[in-house]
Structure 1
Amino acid sequence: MKMKPTFSLCFLLAGLYAVAQCHQHPRYHNKHDDSKGTHYPGRSSHGEGIYPVKNKTFVKLVPSNADFAFSFYKLVASEATDENIFFSPISISASFAMLALGAKSATLTQVLEGLAFNLKKTQEQEIHEGFCQLLHMLNRSDSELQVSLGNALFIEETLKPLQKFLDDVKSFYEAEVFSTNFNNSSGAENQINNYIEEKTNGKIVKLVENLDPLTAMVLVNYVFFKAHWEKPFSTSYTKQEEFFVDRKMSVRVDMMYRKGYYRNYFDEELSCWLVQIPYNGNAAALFVLPDEGKMKQVEDALLKKTVSKWEKFLQDRKIHLHIPKFSISGTYDVKRIVKQVGMIDLFTEQADLSGITEDEEGGRLLSSCWVIHRAMLNVHENGTEAVGVTVKEVTWRSGDFPHPPRVRFNRPFLLVILDKYTRTVLFIGKIVNPLKND
């Protein structure tokens, strides 16, 4: 009896922040990509300006994407109370929304509702159109800011994916689709790893190993984020200081320092400092520093409405800012976590994914799968090019503190990286130990 190929769905996300020299990255995927394997034919990606400016469908996605981001964080945090956390919620949302293109009936509803969409208020088509717009706006590359977010499907060459599914993943999610011979495991691994290495500018290598020859499909998801601080830190002020991991343990870290104007606020109710550090371009990092013993209280309050409140109260005032240099990464079993947001059938034999392939087993494609999300972040002064950069600031502004407070991130803190124009949460992290990278 011939065995049906299992369906291994692999979300491999590489989200990288580095403030070294920027280099250009194509805004749209080239359908003549030199990755080994055959491209399935399909419609080309939507061009710039396909939607009139007044039709901002992506705006409907903003509240749901934020709700999903903070829900996912709490699920991860509940299992990793004393560990670093870092992931890209928008990347996970986009991947599952794309997968919904091949889902039907209860499976489709579970996926979209699991992504925090109210299907009575937002139609499925609006969700896909909104993600299409969002990906176009987020995917940009210039001298100030580089964001590259996308997906690729590697499908077993003996399967017959439905043309509508291929067309939709290309047109809505700018996904590349390759025909792959998984019977040749080493060849398939090389094909996928070469693709990931290229899309992450060489930062992620050999991520896929020991592929099962019975694999039917691998979905690769990646995010690459590179930006310069709007106001760089000077390396001459970076000094070794103590970082208090908890009451019993401390580590020595390279602590950056800068006195200057930042949008900041102390939340008396939650007992935490908020400092927003802008990047050149249209992104910003919101650093959240709970008082000692208040991390759980702040995490529990981490909701869309809380972040909105913080944004309203942030004021541009001078502070003495101390933030550690750190590299952080996170790897998560997304398959297990999304079950807790209601995607019950998706990874079982009850899943209806008959919109993906003509194969008679199409409804049970995800019963055997691997879903991994990996994200990485690197925070430092601003790269080697930043030395000698100066930013002139007005010496006094109304609303300034009489004596600028010293905000020292020398204990566990939270980090939210936002795209300001689309109000999208690109990354969420918790830094418990800056020296522990994974």
Structure 2
Amino acid sequence: MSLYFALAMLEAGSAGQTKADLRDFLAASPETDIGQELSKLYALMSYEREGAAEAIANALWIKEDLVGQDGAGVKEAWLDQMTHEFYASALAVDFSDTKTSQMMSDWVAEQTRGKIKPEIDVSDPLLLLVLMNTVYFKADWLDPFSESDLVEEAFYGQDQVIDQVPYLRGHFTNRSVLLSDRFTAAQLPLMNGRMVFVLPQEGLEAQDLLADPSFLSDLTFASWGGADLRIQLPKFSYRNKTDILKAMEGLGLSDIVQGSPDLSAMLDISAEVSTISQETFIALDEKGVEAAGYTEIQIRETGAMPVEMDQVYLTLNRPFLYIIQDDAGNPLFVGIIRNPLAE
């Protein structure tokens, strides 16, 4: 979700073939106004109540001598759209000042409730602006686990067996479960959404499922069956940082935004995306789930089928996939657990 918001801000500032390619990458239909749709989503994702909280924030960090420069700076129409549709804060900064990167890191930490405090490098002398998005989510289990549900057993990683991993065991009636020839999936409800656990069949890896572009949408719109669920899932807490351009090299994102992209709806000068980085945090225990993520885009100057089931056992003691969805079914966080004890 964080990456989608950040790329949508970039799409709003693009034109021509670059805009068309970004819209295809974002799976936006010709009639979809991405900014207006995300504006509605922003309102839905901003709340805090007992046992549940969700927040999203956007910010633009702009080289100070680009602001107010008619014909040689940032386009006012794009800035207006960022303010009114993306609710983005726009700040004119001096990237050569060492205090700027600290200020940016502090902003991320504040928006993610202290869960992420990134080391931000804005030393590129050609840096023009940085687009940022943060997402924060916290929810208690609708049916919490108890201390008596805790056990320690082995987890069978790809290359090693990890002993004494703490697990949560639960027995729930009438839970949503999906069986296919590739995986077994189950949903556990949260106070403001749900968490989906996907265990690939033996011989398949979690990344094999994610490599299918339609996997997440197929999972969302599949006809889930109801079943008596006995689940065993590991407690975990970890952080992850990803070079998005490298990770999505096979999807052609770098070809769209690097080299000579058309960012003329955003800037009066030629520019390209130099880096897209993302950092995430997630923790799961007997009380619930807490997750946070941030995405940073730096721009520099250039030239399954329904099944009826009675009872399902799901023991997540080898690498598995998780998806955190809010009440509207939006996939806020997606990840793979390969080692529950890794931080």
Range of TM-score over shorter length: 0.7 to 0.9
- Residue 264 (structure 2) aligns with: 354
Query: Partner residue of 2:283?
Result: 378
Give the Cα–Cα distance (whole angstroms) in 2 for the partners of residues 222 and 131 of structure 1: 14
**Residue 14 (structure 2) aligned to one of 94, 103, 107:** 103
TM superposition shift of 1:293: 1.9
Q: 1:181 to 1:299 in 2, by over 3 A?
A: closer
Q: Which residue of 1 aligns with 2:190?
A: 279
2:90 aligns with one of 171, 177, 181: 177
Structure 2 counterpart of 1:253? 165
Between the aligned partners of 1:338 and 1:331, the Cα distance in structure 2 is 14
One-letter identity of the residue aligned with 1:219:
L
CA distance in structure 2 between the partners assigned to 1:207 and 1:113 by the alignment: 32
**Cα pair distance change 1:104/1:260, threshold 3 Å:** same
Quote the residue 2:26 is aligned against. 115
- Mapped contact 2:9–2:131 kept (Cα < 8 A): no
Q: Match of 1:333?
A: 243
* Percent of paired sites with the same residue: 25
Q: Which AA in structure 2 matches 1:169?
A: M
How many residues align? The count is 316
1:194 is aligned to 106
Match of 2:132 in 1: 220
Contact kept? 1:114, 1:338, Cα under 8 Å: no
Aligned partner of 1:436: which letter? A
Other-structure match for 2:300: none
Question: What is the CA–CA distance in structure 2 between the aligned matches of 1:414 and 1:337, rounded to whole Å?
Answer: 17
Query: Does the CA contact (< 8 Å) of 1:262 and 1:275 recur in 2?
Result: no
| Residues 210 and 178 of structure 1, relative CA distance in 2, 3 Å threshold | closer
- Post-superposition offset of 1:92: 1.0
Give the Cα–Cα distance (whole angstroms) in 1 for the partners of residues 229 and 265 of structure 2. Answer: 55
The secondary structure found in structure 1 opposite 2:19 is: helix
Task: Give, in angstroms, the shift of residue 323 of structure 1.
Answer: 0.9
Q: Does 1:322 align with 2:322?
A: no
Whole-Å separation in 2 of the counterparts to 1:192 and 1:305: 34
Displacement of 1:266 in angstroms is 5.2
The structure carrying a bigger strand percent of its residues is 2
> Aligned in 2, Cα 1:214/1:409: closer, same or farther, shift over 3 Å?
same
Match of 1:416 in 2: 323
Whole-angstrom CA distance in 1 between matches of 2:41 and 2:14: 22
Does residue 433 of structure 1 match 2:336?
Answer: no
For the structure 1 residues 221 and 323, does the alpha-carbon distance in structure 2 shift closer, same or farther, using more than 3 Å as the test?
same
1:375 & 1:198 partners in 2: Cα distance? 15
Per-residue CA deviations over 1:302-354 (Å, capped at 9, x if unaligned) read 625531464x1321x33322111001333221233455434455443411112
TM superposition score normalised by structure 1: 0.66
**Are the equivalent residues in 2 in contact too, given 1:102–1:354 (CA < 8 A)?**
yes
Q: CA deviation at 1:209?
A: 4.2
Distance 2:211 2:66 in 1: 45
- Partner of 1:371, secondary structure, is strand
In structure 2, distance between residues paired with 1:346 and 1:400: 45
Matches of 2:150 and 2:91 in 1, distance apart?
Answer: 47
Change (3 A) 1:321 1:240: same
Paired residue for 2:5?
A: 94
Q: Deviations over 1:52-107 (max 9, x none)?
A: xxxxxxxxxxxxxxxxxxxxxxxxxxxxxxxxxxxxxx211111111112111111
Partner of 1:141: 48
CA distance in 1, matches of 2:123, 2:174: 48
Distance 1:236 1:99 in 2: 49
Q: Distance in 2 between matches of 1:247 and 1:215?
A: 41
The alignment yields a C-alpha RMSD, in angstroms, of 2.4
2:81 pairs with 1:168: yes
Residue 214 (structure 1) shift: 4.4
Higher relative contact order (CA 8 A, sep 6+): 1
Partner amino acid for 2:187? Q
Among 283, 287, 292, the residue aligned to 2:202: 292
**Is contact 1:110–1:344 with CA below 8 Å preserved after alignment?**
no
Structure 1: segments with no counterpart, 5+ residues: 1-89, 384-398
Per-residue deviation, 1:364 = 2.1
Q: Which amino acid aligns with 2:157?
A: V
Distance 1:313 1:220, change over 3 A: closer
1:153/1:178 contact within 8 Å kept: yes
Given that 2:181 and 2:201 are in contact with CA atoms closer than 8 Å, whether structure 1 keeps it comes out as no
- Structure 1 CA distance for aligned equivalents of residues 279 and 338 of structure 2: 18
Q: Give the AA of the match of 1:432.
A: R
User: Within 1, Cα distance between the matches of 2:47 and 2:236?
Assistant: 25
Structure 2 CA distance for aligned equivalents of residues 269 and 130 of structure 1: 35
> Aligned partner of 2:145: which letter?
F
Tell me by how many angstroms 1:374 deviates.
1.0
- Distance in 2 (alpha carbons) for counterparts of 1:276 and 1:262: 11
Kindly provide the CA deviation profile for residues 382-432 of structure 1, in whole angstroms up to 9, marking residues without a partner as x: 17xxxxxxxxxxxxxxx883xx554221111111111232x3111111111
Q: Aligned pair in 2 of structure 1 residues 168, 299: CA closer, same or farther (>3 Å)?
A: closer
Summarize the Cα distance change of 1:344–1:294 in structure 2 as closer, same or farther, 3 Å threshold: closer
CA distance in 2: counterparts of 1:182 and 1:313, whole angstroms: 50
